[in-house]
Amino acid sequence: MSGGGLITLAHGAGGKATRNLVEKLFLPELGNPLLEPLGDSALFDVNGSRLAFTTDSYVVRPIFFPGGSIGDLAVNGTVNDLAVAGARPLALSAGFVVEEGYPVDDLRRVAADLARAAERAGVSVAAGDTKVVEHGKGDGLYITSAGVGVVPRGVELGPHLVRPGDRVLVSGTLGDHGMAVLLARGDLDLEADLHSDTAPLHGLTAALLDVGGVRWMRDPTRGGLATALNELARDAGLAVELEEAALPVRQEVAGACEILGIDPLYVANEGKLIAVVSPESAPAALAALRADPLGADAAIVGAVRAEPSGLVLLGTALGGSRIVDMLVGDPLPRIC
Amino acid sequence: MSGGGLITLAHGAGGKATRNLVEKLFLPELGNPLLEPLGDSALFDVNGSRLAFTTDSYVVRPIFFPGGSIGDLAVNGTVNDLAVAGARPLALSAGFVVEEGYPVDDLRRVAADLARAAERAGVSVAAGDTKVVEHGKGDGLYITSAGVGVVPRGVELGPHLVRPGDRVLVSGTLGDHGMAVLLARGDLDLEADLHSDTAPLHGLTAALLDVGGVRWMRDPTRGGLATALNELARDAGLAVELEEAALPVRQEVAGACEILGIDPLYVANEGKLIAVVSPESAPAALAALRADPLGADAAIVGAVRAEPSGLVLLGTALGGSRIVDMLVGDPLPRIC
């Protein structure tokens, strides 16, 4: 990033190249105490209330896929970024960049998905904007959503609160969204009954916060579980040890991943969260997740260790252990 | 919009087709008490504070133009939408959709413009996201910004507060941004020393609110002064009468508009506001605007009348009067 160079798809993949772009280009220019470089929401105080604020752009292709559409993603993704910051979502915005010639009926269908997802998540789409670009200068439709939420008094989360011995939970099966979208493109000679998991997580996060002992939460979208936990390990200066056998992955997803040579740990999720909780809280946290249909497949998948600092390790069924690195390159462009 | 049909550039132009899209497609799906369909910011309460929230997408071409870049627009446009809602801007977000192959150095330049504009406006860019699309599926760079502000206690603005006899003020010359961008494209055989007026208006709006008697404010971007005042006339059920001789237009802008057959009343501004104020407050409001370099060319350009309801009229130097309609079609696509 030291001058010259062209943007590549990997810069948008959520892995190492994205982090590089943020740390070498955006942070030096835009760095300020509020900017949460790769976290989920920025937090700031207004008249004694703590607000959370976040944005995400969506360029998923195809725009409609089994289990949802770009409209669902734009709502749920922003709701989830607020939720894992401990916030209660209040209001969303949606900015549309539409390609000339896009069917009005498809735009209406996306708007309906957006509206239904917002209603399900209990938030209002309060602000919007539409720009149109010439045919050939877009790809149907891009949506950028932003969201505002309020963090209840007493809630504090962050990598600095994570301690060795803490447990790592996931709220359900991994990789469903990414593999469903990949297969929906239809350019692989592979069929499987896969559906995106796109869903709002604010109910699960509220339930976890009620249990207490929550240190850190994240929704593992682009780059998957592996990338999110690598960021945690790095930011906390600790290690995360996962148990391979404990990781919930649907058989259809595991099968498709194996055929394509993709590791489900790097595949995007759009309706799952990772929570790091104190060892004492872990059983109650697991029960709270499982009590919600969105968390029915929740599992304790690992623990935090003091060493080796900054790394994520995967313990295999045979007793071995390997390092799980951050995502490098972009095996699945435009997955969200 | 009753089924079928394709999106056209006019749907993004901010005029009649845009209003149609919002009213016939987005509102029926997304309608809720918070959604401010064509206003500048949504307003909602959090723990007793009134927040303003807004978003805009930017697809301007070229990305860099005399007087600014897409980075300046993304900051100033969102700051201005908050400001004309009476809010003090607090935090912004920026979502980037970058085309594969876009030069890293250009992206850095945009980020620097974004940062400098945010510093000038006294706000933080608190949240960001970057997505990359394949070469040929974008046009360099699109940015969607959103912003959160807080509305001081006692501030209330809206078309419902406008009364016959109120004065209409503009904070400076009209049409500078749109004509500067149009000429910067270089595909017209026309040269003139034009610069975008992109600038943050929160200082001007705060000064007006200090004076008092402010009923309604708007920053006339896409669709220009004519479209913004048509929306006001329609929403208030009143008429707006403009005096042609009072409208401030730079000679270079007027000349370029005449050659191209474009009416400067429809051309986008990115650093100007319209304010409707009580007749008693008008002189002090004008003085307050002119006291700021950004309002040096401010003028009282017309007044509100009871009839003919919903129309904007332009009184000419010869004593005649013509109806100024909303923007139809899009003479200047991708101006912001």
Q: What is the pLDDT of residues B11-24, one digit of tens each?
A: 988 888 888 888 88
User: What's the confidence (pLDDT) of residue A3?
Assistant: 58
**What is the predicted pLDDT for the residue at A283?**
98
Model confidence, pTM? 0.95
Answer whether residue B141 shows pLDDT above 90.
yes
* A38-73 pLDDT per residue, tens: 557 899 899 899 999 999 999 999 999 999 999 999
* Average pLDDT across chain B, whole number: 93
Q: Tell me the average pLDDT across A133-143.
A: 96
Which residues between 43 and 72 in chain B have a beta carbon less than 8 angstroms from any beta carbon of chain A? 44, 46-49, 51, 53-59
Nearest to B11 among A13, A126, A130 (CB): A130
Q: What is the pLDDT of residues B205-215, one digit of tens each?
A: 999 999 999 99
pLDDT at A324: 94
* pLDDT tens figures, A234-273: 999 999 999 999 999 999 999 999 999 999 999 999 999 9
Poorest-pLDDT segment among A285-294, B23-32, B99-108, B162-171 = B23-32
Other residues' Cβ atoms within 10 Å of the Cβ of residue B58: 26
**Residue B94 distance to chain A (closest CA, Å):** 7
Return the percentage of chain B with pLDDT > 90, whole number.
Answer: 80
Distances (CA, A) of A217 to A169, A208, A276: 9, 10, 6
**A65: closest CA of chain B, how far (Å):** 18
Predicted pLDDT at B192:
82
With a CB cutoff of 8 Å and minimum separation 6, the contacts of B265 are: B174, B175, B224, B225, B226, B247, B314, B324
Map out the domains of chain B with their CATH numbers: 39-151 (3.30.1330.10), 159-323 (3.90.650.10)
Give pLDDT tens digits for B262-286: 999 999 999 999 999 999 999 999 9
- The model's confidence at residue B34, banded by pLDDT at 50, 70 and 90, is low
Contact B134 A18 (CB under 8 A): no
Among residues of chain A, what percentage have pLDDT more than 90?
80
Query: Is residue B2 less than 8 Å (CB to CB) from chain A?
Result: no
Nearest residue on chain B to A77, judged by CA atoms? B129
C-alpha distances (whole Å) from A43 to each of A49, A84, B53, B192 are 10, 12, 15, 45
pLDDT for B36 equals 56
Contacts of B182 (CB under 8 A, 6+ apart): B188, B256, B260, B332, B335
CB contact under 8 A, A51 and B148: yes
B275 exposure class (CB count in 10 Å sphere: 0-12, 13-18, 19+): buried
Q: What is the pLDDT of residue A4?
A: 77
pLDDT computed for residue B329 by the predictor: 76
| Residues A310-316, mean pLDDT to the nearest whole number | 96
Which tens digits make up the pLDDT trace of B120-133? 999 999 999 999 99
Burial state string for A292-330 with b = 16 or more CB within 10 A and e = fewer than 16:
bebbebbbbbbbbbeeeeebbbbbeeeeeeeebebbeeb
Which residue has tokens 């009954």? A193
- Residues from chain A that touch B56, judged by Cβ atoms under 8 A, are 95, 129
Find all residues with CB under 8 Å of A293, minimum gap 6, and list them: none
CB contact residues (below 8 A), chain A span 92-131, against chain B: 93-105, 107-108, 111-112, 114-115, 118, 124-131
Tally the C-alpha atoms within 13 A of residue B130's C-alpha that lie toward its C-beta. 31
Q: What is the pLDDT of residues A185-244, one digit of tens each?
A: 987 878 788 999 999 999 999 999 999 999 999 999 999 999 999 999 999 999 999 999
Residue numbers in A near B102 (CB within 8 A): 6-7
Minimal-distance CA residue of chain A relative to B134: A9
Mean pLDDT over B65-71 rounds to 97
Residue of A nearest to B10 (CA): A132
Sorting pLDDT into bands at 50, 70 and 90, what band is B172? Answer: very high
Residues of A in contact with B47 (CB under 8 A): 47-49, 150
Binary contact (A114, B9; C-beta < 8 A): no
User: Per the CB < 8 Å rule, is B132 touching A12?
Assistant: yes
Q: With a cut of 70, say whether residue A184 has pLDDT above it.
A: yes
pLDDT at A115 over 70: yes
Q: What is the band of A35 on the pLDDT scale with cuts at 50, 70, 90?
A: low
C-alpha to C-alpha distance for B256 and B188, rounded to whole angstroms: 10
Give B27 to chain A, closest Cα distance, Å: 9
Inform me whether the C-beta atom of residue A152 falls under 8 Å from chain B C-beta atoms: no
A34 pLDDT higher than 70: no
Interface probe, candidates B53, B134, B143, chain A, greatest A C-beta count within 10 A: B53
What pLDDT score was predicted for residue B1? 52
State residue B3's pLDDT score: 59
